[in-house]
Amino acid sequence: MRTVALVGADGAGKSSIARAVAHRLGSRARYLYMGVNLEQSTMMLPTTRLAMAIKRARGGRPRMPADWSGGAGAGSAGAGPGRWQLVREAYAGVRRVGWLAEEWYRALVASVYRRRGHLVIFDRHFLFDYYGAGRDDRPGQLLAARLHAALLRHFYPRPDLVICLDAPADVLHERKGEGEVESLERRRQEYLALSEVSPEFAVVDATQPLPAVVDQVTSLVRARTA
């Protein structure tokens, strides 16, 4: 086993735990952020880094769209086909192409780490963050989002082990103070449902104190790499 992904809804503590586990495992482990927050990532395409620098110079914040799942958004609910919809699809398509390049670049970095004999600890994972996109029960889903999710599901490298950091939605909301409890619960259930598509899947109670969660995750990883 060479790759482990820590996933879970916002507020589960993924980044803190992933970094702590990688540190605990020592020189053989490598931490790699696999999420959409460019400000949190230390590994990205040179073109992405340049775009970030330009945006910062202009006083903006480098970020991916808040609605990264590809929904139509609040201003366009119920909008039918037309010029505006075509513009939205074209714009979303261009952005997705750029983001696909970023995703595959990080997959390449992970592959290099593995070939050098390292154990890669993923903080989040693109495949599982986008896995629910394109489902029929998500109204207003853009075609670009559906295609993006399909490409990831069929072609993106999967981690050997997926560890879901789980906590009740109200606990997650209290920690982050963002979003709504209902949306956090939906995301939580989507992550738990990944057990159906991940042969090696474990759930860790993220309501425990941080050191206890780190201990448990580290033990799970060591047990599968022994």
Q: Distance between CA 183 and CA 186 in Å, rounded?
A: 5
Q: At residue 157, what is the residue type? A: P
pLDDT band, residue 72 (cuts 50/70/90): very low
Q: Distance between CA 219 and CA 224 in Å, rounded?
A: 9
CATH of the domain at 205: 3.40.50.300
28 Cβ partners below 8 Å, 6+ apart?
117, 118, 119
- Looking at the predicted structure, is the pLDDT value of residue 74 above 70? no
Q: What mean pLDDT is predicted for residues 33-60?
A: 82
Query: pTM to 2 decimals?
Result: 0.84
Count of all residues that appear for the chain in the document: 226
- Looking at the predicted structure, is the pLDDT value of residue 163 above 90? yes
For the chain, give the mean pLDDT.
86
Q: What mean pLDDT is predicted for residues 130-134?
A: 74
pLDDT of residue 131: 84
pLDDT band, residue 135 (cuts 50/70/90): low
List residues bridging with 31 in a β-sheet: 121
Range name among 22-31, 37-46, 65-74, 199-208 with the lowest pLDDT average: 65-74
The DSSP annotation for 165-224 comes to: EE--HHHHHHHH--S-HHHHHHHHHHHHGGGGT-SSEEEEETTS-HHHHHHHHHHHHHHH
- Looking at the predicted structure, is the pLDDT value of residue 10 above 80? yes
Which of these, 101, 113, 6, 128, lies nearest to 45 by C-alpha position?
101
Contacts 24+ apart (CB under 8 A), 125-128: 125/5, 125/7, 125/34, 125/159, 125/162, 126/34, 126/35, 126/152, 126/156, 127/152, 127/153, 127/156, 127/158, 128/5, 128/7, 128/162, 128/191, 128/194
pLDDT of residue 37: 86
134 Cβ partners below 8 Å, 6+ apart?
70, 141, 145, 146, 147, 148, 149, 150
pLDDT band, residue 154 (cuts 50/70/90): very high
Q: Distance between CA 91 and CA 68 in Å, rounded?
A: 13
Instruction: Give me the number of domains the chain comprises.
Output: 1
pLDDT band, residue 63 (cuts 50/70/90): low
- Looking at the predicted structure, is the pLDDT value of residue 207 above 50? yes
Percentage of the chain exceeding pLDDT 90: 59
Range name among 45-49, 148-152, 195-199 with the lowest pLDDT average: 45-49
Q: Are residues 186 and 131 in contact, defined by beta-carbon separation less than 8 angstroms?
A: no
Token pair 């042969």 in the structure block, residue: 199
List residues bridging with 224 in a β-sheet: none
Token pair 């997650």 in the structure block, residue: 172
pLDDT band, residue 185 (cuts 50/70/90): very high
> What are the two backbone dihedrals, phi and then psi, of residue 10, each rounded to the nearest 5 degrees?
-55, 135
Range name among 71-80, 85-94, 171-180 with the lowest pLDDT average: 71-80
Q: Whole domain around residue 165: which residue ranges?
A: 3-225
Q: Are residues 40 and 15 in contact, defined by beta-carbon separation less than 8 angstroms?
A: yes
pLDDT of residue 139: 56
pLDDT of residue 20: 98
